[in-house]
Amino acid sequence: MTQAAAPELSGPSMLSPRVLIPFMLTGTIWGSTWFVITGQISDVPAAWGVFYRFMLATPALFVLAVVMGNRLRLNRPEHLLAFGVGIAQFSGNFLFVYHAEAHITSGIVAVMFALLMVPNAVFANIFIGEKVQPGFIGGSLVAIVGVALLLVHEWRVAPLDGNVGLGIVLAIGGMLAASIANVVQANPTGRGVPMVSFLAWAMVYGTLFDLAFALITVGPPVVPQAWQFWAGTAYLAIIGSVVTFPLHYNLVREIGAGRTAYNGIVTVCVAMLLSTLFEGYRWTWLTAIGAALALLGMGLALRSKQRR
């Protein structure tokens, strides 16, 4: 007797407004944040830049949770999960990313993060049983080749004192940390907590870790006086964090971690455009082919169906 085919991942269509609007919004906003981060780390050490971002974002998330009428009290398993997600997402991910952008351009880091769909799919299969089809694997391989071409170009044009290799390793570390956070929060314990309340507590734990990390690795706080720095930090905190993370994690719960990561296509387009306009990123045949393959591969992966 043959085994029945696994049902397709339940949830709304990718083209329904409840999915498409937050999908496009998070991709567009996050595409702009890569460039803003570059300006932040030019004024303060990266560790303090991360702390300042979430120092502003955390109370704003709690206010949002109260306005929405969400419960703020978490039980022990929920706090433990929030702690793990907070360390992975709001510490590990962002500390890796901010330090990576000191070595490679923001557009390239964004392109690398567009491959978040790959570890998301792997971890989702391991932790919550989401299955992927061969089309997803094939598309992801094409995208990886494209990203590799972009990184080859970045390596060639790096200044003599640059460390592109370190930047790549840091970006990969940030991608893996974000992927773990994306997937584990969608387990039954996480689904039992209102999203904004859960993220607020996760951000508390992440921010406390960021503070300790900055004090230990950098020393006393560096407090910029320029209003541009604090305007950028406010944008990253409120628009790039408080607005986007609840939308993003709700998408993970509704359409799965793998498909949610496809908003990286939107993010890449915005980030590379801004990097070209403001960071002096120079296009060559190598980078054009690499970008085309990356987008083509992500598009092919998008067409495949995830199954649970």
pTM: 0.80
- The pLDDT of residue 159 is 55
pLDDT tens-digit series, residues 86-116 = 999 999 999 999 998 888 877 778 777 777 7
- The pLDDT of residue 218 is 93
pLDDT tens-digit series, residues 231-282 = 999 999 999 999 998 998 888 778 776 677 777 777 877 877 887 787 677 7
Angle subtended at Cα 94 by Cα 149 and Cα 291, rounded to the nearest 5 degrees = 20
Report the distance separating Cα 199 and Cα 65, nearest Å: 9
What are φ and ψ of residue 8, in 5° steps? -70, 155
Alpha helices, H only, 129-163: 134-157
pLDDT tens-digit series, residues 202-211 = 999 999 999 9
CA-based torsion, 302, 252, 170, 278: positive or negative: positive
Angle subtended at Cα 223 by Cα 36 and Cα 113, rounded to the nearest 5 degrees = 30
Q: Which of 180, 174, 217, 222 shows the shortest CA–CA distance to 202?
A: 180
- The pLDDT of residue 152 is 79
Separation of first and last alpha carbons in the chain: 21
115-144 average pLDDT score = 76
pLDDT tens-digit series, residues 37-74 = 877 877 789 999 999 999 999 999 999 999 999 999 99
- The pLDDT of residue 128 is 66
Tell me what percent of the residues of the chain surpass a pLDDT of 90: 33
- The pLDDT of residue 12 is 62
Higher pLDDT, 31 or 130: 31
- The pLDDT of residue 1 is 37
116-128 average pLDDT score = 76
What are φ and ψ of residue 115, in 5° steps? -80, 10
- The pLDDT of residue 239 is 94
127-144 average pLDDT score = 75
